Amino acid sequence: MATAADKTAAPAPGSSGIGDAYWPLDGNGGIDVAAYKIKNRYDVPRQTLQGRTKLTLTATADLSSFNLDFLLPVSKVKVDGVAAEVDQTSHELTITPAAPLTTGSNHTVTVKYAGRPATERYAGEGNWLANGREAVAMNQPHMATRWFPANDHPSDKALFDISTTVPTGREVIANGNLVGKKKSKRGTTRRWRADEPMASYLAFFAAGDFAIQKGTSNGLPWVNAVSQQLSADEQKASLKLLGRTPGIVEALEGDLGAYPFSVTGGLTTGLSVFFALENQTRPTYPYVGSDNVRPVVHELAHQWFGDDVAIARWRDIWLNEGAATFMEWRYAEQHGDRSAADTMRAAYDSPGTSDRFWQLVLTDPGAAHIFDTPVYDRGGMTLRALRNRIGEEKFWLLIRTRLETKAGGNATSEEFEALAAQVSGRDLTGFFTARLRTPAKPAATAENGLA
């Protein structure tokens, strides 16, 4: 007679979320995606998209079914070349393969789809950025699910191979390197491939009319693109600003170590966008003129903080935004502007003690507040104050150690805090409690990095 210990548990459905408290349906349980091969056709004037994405994944549990995150209508799904049952409810695509998946087994999943990304909403967001001349798939935290099916959470990085067909005469820009171009009756297809794994929200494509420049600086290839919706003077100014990218990367390397990716660059859109985004290898920007270097420094710093070392949970977003803000200040002080210490002190002295600026808990700001000003500025202030608290040598050793030990992976605030204590040899509990977890203005003390 078999005992309970002898019995093998029956395959079960994978969970519809990866476990992030802020967006419970983001990501999916039971799978680990290794690679996406995306083949889409985008009609720029009509703003419609259709295509097929092949995912290569590993089952991390015995699965009778599993989920992907996707918003566009799906027509067919295959698992290992065999048709699978599919049920789609808003953001969730539930796939039941012909045979269960076993723990550790590798599979290919192919999804065919078509729709209008601009009509889709999730978590109250309508994030598609497009008009009849241009589209740029840039947004955070949710963009991927409007143009390819994904395990949409930064904790599951993967390789990306992105092919996009547009009417001949239009351009397509995406992450990584351009590895193929092919014309057909349907239009022109450009294939871009990223050589290093990335989070799904950092994958992007832009379609439209762009002025493109490319080259190599200090051995690092770069590709810059500027929308031709902008005026001739605006295009010239944007190309001049993006042309500073290799030099800024080199400056950041002096503090952070080698740039983590094989190519760099940037894209300036002509759409009405009021933010920039750290799309891996190719940040995207609105028009900001020729001399406004701050957003370029910020998004390039994100290539280390947020892209190479990604957050494990959205609640830890201060690690990304605070570090990128601090590096803005650091770059400024290295290039003749005021010191980061003075910038921190001015920010500390400006808001009153009862101001909402101090009331946000940085380690748990809430889903509606992950991009609030305190996440950026108080995050940057925390790092500059930590530099005071533990000293110059230990601070930069901490930053380098974190980037090296977590390279290509994910991190939490608690891990960073523990590493800071280890590297410095100090008890920093009070410092991080005051800076990150107390909804009040920290006292101007040496313990808090202010005296």
Q: What is the pLDDT of residues 33-67, one digit of tens each?
A: 999 999 999 999 999 999 999 999 999 999 999 99
| Pair (72, 169) in one structural domain | yes
Q: Which domain range does residue 334 map to?
A: 311-437
CB 14 within 8 Å of CB 29: yes
Quick check: is 2 in a domain? no
**Band (5; pLDDT cuts 50, 70, 90):** very low
Q: Give the domain-ending residue among 257, 284, 308.
A: 308
Q: State yes or no: pLDDT of 105 exceeds 70.
A: yes
- Sequence-separated (6 or more) residues with CB below 8 Å from residue 219: none
Q: How far apart are CA 227 and CA 231, in angstroms?
A: 9
Nearest to 314 by CA among 382, 373, 368: 368
What is the CB neighbour count within 10 angstroms for residue 38? 24
pTM of the full structure: 0.96
Strands 92-96 and 85-89: antiparallel
| Pair (315, 272) in one structural domain | no
Quick check: is 166 in a domain? yes
Q: Give the domain-ending residue among 267, 283, 308.
A: 308
Quick check: is 433 in a domain? yes
Q: State yes or no: pLDDT of 357 exceeds 60.
A: yes
The stretch 183-199 carries a mean pLDDT of 96
**Band (353; pLDDT cuts 50, 70, 90):** confident
User: What pLDDT is stored for residue 8 in this prediction?
Assistant: 61
| Pair (256, 379) in one structural domain | no
Q: State yes or no: pLDDT of 6 exceeds 60.
A: no
Q: Give the domain-ending residue among 187, 206, 225.
A: 206
Nearest to 269 by CA among 120, 386, 124, 128: 128
Quick check: is 6 in a domain? no
Quick check: is 8 in a domain? no
DSSP secondary-structure letter at 197?
E
| Pair (171, 230) in one structural domain | no
Q: How far apart are CA 297 and CA 438, in angstroms?
A: 29
The stretch 239-260 carries a mean pLDDT of 98
User: What pLDDT is stored for residue 137 in this prediction?
Assistant: 97
User: What pLDDT is stored for residue 451 in this prediction?
Assistant: 77
The stretch 385-390 carries a mean pLDDT of 98
For residue 125, give the CATH number of its domain: 2.60.40.1730
Quick check: is 371 in a domain? yes
| Pair (227, 192) in one structural domain | no
| Pair (381, 235) in one structural domain | no
The stretch 100-123 carries a mean pLDDT of 97
| Pair (325, 407) in one structural domain | yes
| Pair (106, 183) in one structural domain | yes
User: What pLDDT is stored for residue 175 in this prediction?
Assistant: 98
**Band (70; pLDDT cuts 50, 70, 90):** very high
| Pair (108, 213) in one structural domain | no
Quick check: is 238 in a domain? yes
| Pair (182, 222) in one structural domain | no
* Residue 280 structure tokens: 């891996």
User: What pLDDT is stored for residue 76 in this prediction?
Assistant: 98
- Sequence-separated (6 or more) residues with CB below 8 Å from residue 418: none
User: What pLDDT is stored for residue 351 in this prediction?
Assistant: 81
Helix, strand or coil for residue 355? coil
pLDDT digits (tens, 9 = 90+) for 416-446: 999 999 999 999 999 999 999 999 999 999 9
Q: What is the enclosing helix (H) or strand (E) of 429?
A: helix 429-432
The neighbouring-strand residues paired with 108 are 56
Quick check: is 449 in a domain? no
User: What pLDDT is stored for residue 294 in this prediction?
Assistant: 97
Counted domains in the chain: 3
| Pair (129, 106) in one structural domain | yes
For residue 326, give the CATH number of its domain: 1.10.390.10
pLDDT digits (tens, 9 = 90+) for 127-186: 899 999 999 999 999 999 999 999 999 999 999 999 999 999 999 999 999 999 999 998
Q: What is the enclosing helix (H) or strand (E) of 411?
A: strand 410-411
User: What pLDDT is stored for residue 395 in this prediction?
Assistant: 98
Amino acid identity at 62: D
| Pair (256, 403) in one structural domain | no
